Amino acid sequence: MEKFEDLIQSPVPVLVDFFAEWCGPCKAMKPVLEELKLIVGDKARIAKIDVDQHEELATKYRIQAVPTFILFKNGEAVWRHSGVIHSSELQGVIEKHYS
């Protein structure tokens, strides 16, 4: 697997879903993210990080609730949202940062 720091350095937006297996809202987001991937195609990458398996990343990015979504571009966090969100909102955020 690609190193997280290398992954987020991409000029293509990278949407990171910080989630947990035990989290009901996280499970509800799975089909939303699958739909989003079909819609945005190559305009963005979507990565999932299990906060229980990657506690150091959860701490580094101050993840206090799951799901938390952070959009990275060129290594910088350009957008963040905690909680369930509609795919059209995520699509709009990605398209805003895609260039």
**What CATH number should be reported for the domain holding residue 18?**
3.40.30.10
Domain range holding 15?
A: 4-80
The b-or-e profile of 18-38 (16+ CB within 10 A means b, else e) is bbbeebeebeebeebbeebee
Q: How many CB atoms lie within 10 A of CB 45?
A: 18
90 within domain boundaries: no
- Looking at residue 11, what DSSP letter applies? S
Active site residues: 23, 26
The string of pLDDT tens digits covering residues 66-96 is 999 999 999 999 999 999 999 999 999 999 9
Element (H, E) at 33: helix 24-40
45 within domain boundaries: yes
The predicted pLDDT at position 98 comes to: 85
93 within domain boundaries: no
% of the chain residues with pLDDT over 70: 97
State the pTM of this model: 0.95
54 within domain boundaries: yes
Rounded CA-CA distance 36/46 in Å is 9
**How many domains is the chain built from?**
1
